[in-house]
Amino acid sequence: MNRRSWARSSGPVVGRGRRARTSKVVSAFLLALIGAVVTHAHAQQSPPAVVAGPVTGGDRGQPFGGWAAGARPNGWVEEEWFVSGVASSYRRLGAWGTDGRWDVAPHETEPYAVRILVRRPAEASRFNGVVVVEWLNVTARLEGAADYAQMEEELLREGYAWVGVGAQAVGIHAEGTGLKAWDPARYEPLQHPGDRFSYDIYSQAARTLRSGDAGGPLGDLAPRHLIAAGRSQSAFRLVTYLNAFHPRERLFDGYFVHSRGATAAGLRSEALAADEPDPIPAGARIRTDVDVPVFDLQTEGDMVTLGSHRTRQPASDMYRRWEIAGAAHTEIPTWVVEVPPELPRGPGCAEAVNAAPHHAFVKAGLRALVDWVVSGRVPPQSPEIQLHDPAATDPIARDVHGNALGGVRIPQLVAPTATLDGRQNSVAAGGPGEQNFCFLFGNTRAFDDAKLRELHPTHEAFVNRFVASVDALERDGYLLAPEAEEAKRAAAQSGIGR
């Protein structure tokens, strides 16, 4: 899969023989952690987190999920830091309904030690003042930068700092895939007491970043705004964090909620499991009294596979939602679908996977949210994707080509050369128990030559229709100029209508 797909590569093995340097980091880190635990015994609130780094050494000599050798952009720094302290779990106060007005109180405390991965401009003059703090995704039982993979070009060209926070236990401890399995020497100090502590761990990491201490993870950068971001399972967690913890902490200036499902994450449970015997109600919305901008980006595929249409709510002073028709939860994007070449099938899927440029709308969404936070310019609320039956396996209303109606109209639906949908794909290959996410990848079914000739009798007709769609999306803020130009070039260079 390409770099915008479900999880980034962990990178190549660089070398061994670095345990001595790692052991020094381990010793200093454990001493700091012990000090934090002792401090907590005399305090009513969690003490500040202890930060150690930049981390070096280990068997592989590089951070998991880091930039591959030679791939670091010029003028950028990538560093890994360990964050430790004492985290609280929380219990509910009162009944939790779908309105998201959820109250909590501290419950248990446990020591923890996690890692954060930092990518930032090397020079303060290139920093735009905004730090995107991504809740790393662990659905694949490893720490994946699912939002970074789609935001990367926008983050780099606009000078953001990005920090991935390993807030969940499985990313560290999963057998065979977790950090400790990937590099036991480098990640020896890490420990996670369970996902019921993940919300406080995320808060403590954010508090550390907001402090802007010189020599810390952000170097000499002075952060002005922190944006919380999370995709898929991390978005489930972010909804719970936003509803239950933001009113207590107020650490973030905006939230990017991306590809959530019908439910929010549990308060006591691990990963995607529901709190039992009292699960969070399905269809939970973002609380309407939130005091910072919340941007909610959902695809057609999120509605089909995750039921996110059940979470729709009206636009408000602090809430906007975009629904991207034709896009899947996960994809391998191309601007113009044409065959040959053969369409990709992703991780061994039975059918060609969705080709919609999901990433382009994520970039525009990030720009819209940050502009809202910094300048107060409120982005549009998109039209809703049309539904024929909200309770159906596929609730989406479709046109004669099988493409979704309503929503943000990507150019591939306005000047179609294929059916693009977010419906479940299936697995073509794989052994028993082997993890596979084909059901999230959607489908692409290219039109035959006869239909293409009928829809696009000339190349000029196709390009004009496609370009008009792109121009409209850029004008309305749904596409940024670099992606719009990339799309128009692809249409001009295609063979459609020739």
- Domain locations in the chain as residue ranges: 17-66+73-224, 293-498
**Residue 70: what pLDDT?**
82
**Residue 46: what pLDDT?**
62
User: Between 436 and 396, where is the model more confident?
Assistant: 396
Candidate from 69-73, 388-392, 421-425 with smallest mean pLDDT: 69-73
Has this prediction a pTM greater than 0.85?
Answer: yes
Q: Which residues make Cβ contacts (< 8 Å) with residue 2, sequence separation at least 6?
A: 332, 333
Query: In the predicted model, is pLDDT for residue 18 greater than 50?
Result: no
**Residue 213: what pLDDT?**
76
pLDDT band at 96 (very low <50, low <70, confident <90, very high): very high
Residue 250, beta-bridge partner list: none
pLDDT tens-digit profile of 328-347?
Answer: 999 999 999 999 999 999 99
Candidate from 23-27, 216-220, 303-307, 460-464 with smallest mean pLDDT: 23-27
Tokens linked to 387: 């539904």
**Residue 329: what pLDDT?**
97
Query: In the predicted model, is pLDDT for residue 24 greater than 90?
Result: no
Query: In the predicted model, is pLDDT for residue 11 greater than 60?
Result: no
- Label each residue of 168-208 as H, E or C: CCHHHHCCCCCHHHHCCCCCCCCECCCHHHHHHHHHHHHHH
Q: Which residues make Cβ contacts (< 8 Å) with residue 433, sequence separation at least 6?
A: none
pLDDT band at 39 (very low <50, low <70, confident <90, very high): very low
**Residue 48: what pLDDT?**
80
**Residue 205: what pLDDT?**
97
> What is the distance of C-alpha 304 from the center of its chain?
19
Q: How large is the average pLDDT for residues 268-275? A: 92
- Label each residue of the chain as H, E or C: CCCCCCCCCCCCCCCCCCHHHHHHHHHHHHHHHHHHHHHHCCCCCCCCCEEECCCCCCCCCCCCCCCCCCCCCCCEEEEEEEEEEEEEEEEEECCCCCCCCCEEEEEEEEEEEEEEEEEEECCHHHCCCEEEEEECECCCCCCECCCHHHHHHHHHHHCCEEEEECCCCHHHHCCCCCHHHHCCCCCCCCECCCHHHHHHHHHHHHHHHHHCCCCECCECCCCCEEEEEEECHHHHHHHHHHHHHHHHHCCCCEEEEECCCCCCCCCCCCCCCCCCCCCCCCCCCCCCCCCCCEEEEEEHHHHHHHCHHHHCCCCECCEEEEEECCCCCCCCCCCCCCCCCCCCCCCCECCCCCCCCHHHHHHHHHHHHHHHHHHCCCCCCCCCECECCCCCCCCECECCCCCECECECCHHHHCCCEEEECCCCCECCCCCCCCCCHHHCCEEEECCHHHHHHHCCCHHHHHHHHHHHHHHHHHCCCCCHHHHHHHHHHHHHCCCCC
Give the rounded percent of residues in the chain with a pLDDT score beyond 70: 90
